[in-house]
Amino acid sequence: MDNYQRAKKIVRKKKAFYQHLGAYMAVIGFLLMINILSGDNEPWFLFPAAGWGIGLFLHYINTFGFPFTKGVMSPEWEDREIEKEMDKLEGFPEAPEPDEELELKEFKKLRSEWGDDQEFV
């Protein structure tokens, strides 16, 4: 997918969220007016506002990501993390397969290559 298509998809998601937010504000505002004009002392409009608010919050997370974590868990973040892990692993020799049996001298050689000179418990 080229950048234009990705940008278009992001703009559509944002537009849908803002439409959802507008509908929420209009309906909850209308329910608040009904609650006030009915003379009811119970703030019953808060129940639909809270329930719908949870859905609106989840829509926000889906559109913009979790607050204060911009870029985390994005494809770009994942690529950066893969690069970091590959850089870390380049310094270590490849470990033998678990089923492969090593003789003591081979094991000592691998241990010295890994820099693990401590005794096993």
**pLDDT tens digits, 67-104:** 767 666 667 777 888 888 888 777 766 665 665 665 66
Share of the chain above pLDDT 70, in %: 70
Whether residues 60 and 80 fall in one domain: no
Q: How far apart are CA 78 and CA 38, in angstroms?
A: 54
Identify whether residues 105 and 92 lie together within a single domain.
yes
* Structural domains in the chain (count): 2
Q: How many Cβ atoms sit within 10 Å of the Cβ of residue 109?
A: 13
User: Is 5 exposed, middle or buried (CB count within 10 Å of its CB: 0-12, 13-18, 19+)?
Assistant: exposed
CA gap 78, 36 in Å, rounded: 50
Tens of pLDDT, residue by residue over 18-27, are: 999 999 999 9
With H, G, I as helix, E, B as strand and everything else as coil, classify residue 76: helix
pLDDT at 107 (0 to 100): 65
Q: Are residues 31 and 54 in the same domain?
A: yes
Shared domain check, 34 and 15: yes
Same domain for 80 and 65: no
pLDDT category of residue 3 using cuts at 50, 70 and 90: confident
Distances (CA, A) of 108 to 44, 115, 119: 73, 10, 11
Which H or E element spans position 32?
helix 3-37
Q: How far apart, in Å, do the first and last CA atoms of the chain sit?
A: 53
Domain limits for position 81: 72-115
